Structure 1
Amino acid sequence: MIRRAKPSEIVQLMAITKACAAKMAAENIFQWNDDYPTTAAFSFDVSRNELFVLLEQDTIIGCITISTFKDAEYNTINWLTEDGLNYYIHRLAIAPEFQHQGNAKKLMDFAEAFARDKNATSVRLDTFSENKRNQQFYDARGYVKLGDVYFPRQTAIPFHCYELVL
């Protein structure tokens, strides 16, 4: 089941993202660190009703932010569609013990259906340039890689931006 996150669940989501960060670091993917994701980012997502959780029975196993908020870093990208009703995906995380079981696909299927239901023009996102698995995941879903952005508080290495026209 996928539903909107509650403020009281942010601590649990932070634990999931920290576990994801540790797993990625063990695989030499230094995408997330102590500066990201943050409690403040999740709180902002909840305040905008844009943070969703994936549950298996009563256990939260993942999350995704589906936002209309465009980060300033994205202004340098030549998107396939004009700015308007576009949804941005952030903070997609699956607890390590539930990875490689189709759970990220469930969250992305949900996000894309959510955007279509709102008559959005596209779904946009970024993924770490050294995370080849994520790049293959988005390529297989029909996303088009458009350019790079940088988040210096996370890393000096770029993030690839992708867009799926709906």
Structure 2
Amino acid sequence: MRLVHAHLDQLDEILEIYRHATRKMNEQGITQWADDYPSEEQVKDDIQKRNLYTLLDEDRVAAVVVLDQEYEDAYEKVSWSDQSGRFLVVHRLCVNPAIQGRGVSRILMGEIERFAKEHGYTSIRLDTQIKNEKAMRLYMVNEYEQKGIIYLRGSDDPHMAFEKQLD
């Protein structure tokens, strides 16, 4: 499996993966995403900006993720270790629910780190809703450091900000 740019002809498949994952999270009481997030317009925009990547398993989308340097204002309040300004921010990371439990998230995290190193980033930053226990475990197992609780625009639920410095 390898991380590659998403294409507009994958839009329907990507949207279905996000919708399926959102339903599954909501059933577990995780309200990090809603029926209208991520929206079709947002996903199209991510593809056109070339910030949306897919992890392909042959021709099937195994996972999707947005990689860029954009972040919410809440990130300004975090005491980040890396002050270089060369950090990668991870958004909307999602493993296709049809193949969850097969190690795809571990592979995806490795591909994100490979991508970051290849593009000269010195660290990776991301966040997740604290009650999203699977995501919290995933980041901690992959040696991301908890940097503090933040509140994102439009959410009353606390999120944990994470950072991983790269060699």
Structure 1-normalised TM-score? 0.91
Secondary structure in 2 aligned to 1:41?
helix
Conserved? CA contact 1:87–1:120, under 8 Å: yes
Per-residue CA deviation, residues 30-73 of structure 1 (Å, 9 max, x unaligned), is 22102321223322322322211122221222211111223333
Give the deviation of 1:152 after TM superposition.
4.0
Alpha carbons of structure 1 residues 148 and 35: separation in structure 2 relative to 1, 3 Å: farther
Aligned to 2:108: 107
Q: For residues 152 and 50 of structure 1, what CA distance do their matches in structure 2 show?
A: 21
Structure 1 residues without counterparts, runs of 5 or longer: none
Q: Secondary structure at the match of 2:164?
A: strand
Determine the C-alpha separation between the residues in 2 that align with 1:11 and 1:72: 31
Q: CA deviation at 1:150?
A: 2.1
CA drift of 1:83 comes to: 5.0
The answer to whether the 8 Å contact 2:130/2:160 transfers is yes
Q: Is the 8 A contact 2:105 2:138 kept in 1?
A: no
Q: What's the secondary structure of 2:4's corresponding residue? A: strand
Query: Equivalent residue of 2:18, what SS?
Result: helix
Q: What corresponds to 1:18 in structure 2?
A: 19
Question: Percent sequence identity over matched residues?
Answer: 27
Which residue is equivalent to 1:76? Answer: 77
| Structure 2 unaligned residues grouped into runs of 5+ | none
Matched, 1:160 2:160: yes
Q: Give the match's secondary structure for 1:82.
A: coil
For residues 82 and 34 of structure 1, the distance between their equivalents in structure 2, rounded to whole angstroms, comes to 36
Partner of 2:58: 57
Partner of 2:46: 45
Paired with 1:76 and 1:104, the residues of 2 have a C-alpha distance of: 28
Residues 127-142 of structure 1 aligned to structure 2 (within 5 Å): 127-142=128-143
Structure 1 residue 159: deviation in Å? 1.1
SS of residue matched to 2:160: strand
SS at match of 1:11: helix
Count of aligned pairs between the two proteins: 165
TM-score, normalization by structure 2: 0.90
- Give me the whole-angstrom Cα distance separating, in 2, the residues matched to 1:58 and 1:100: 19
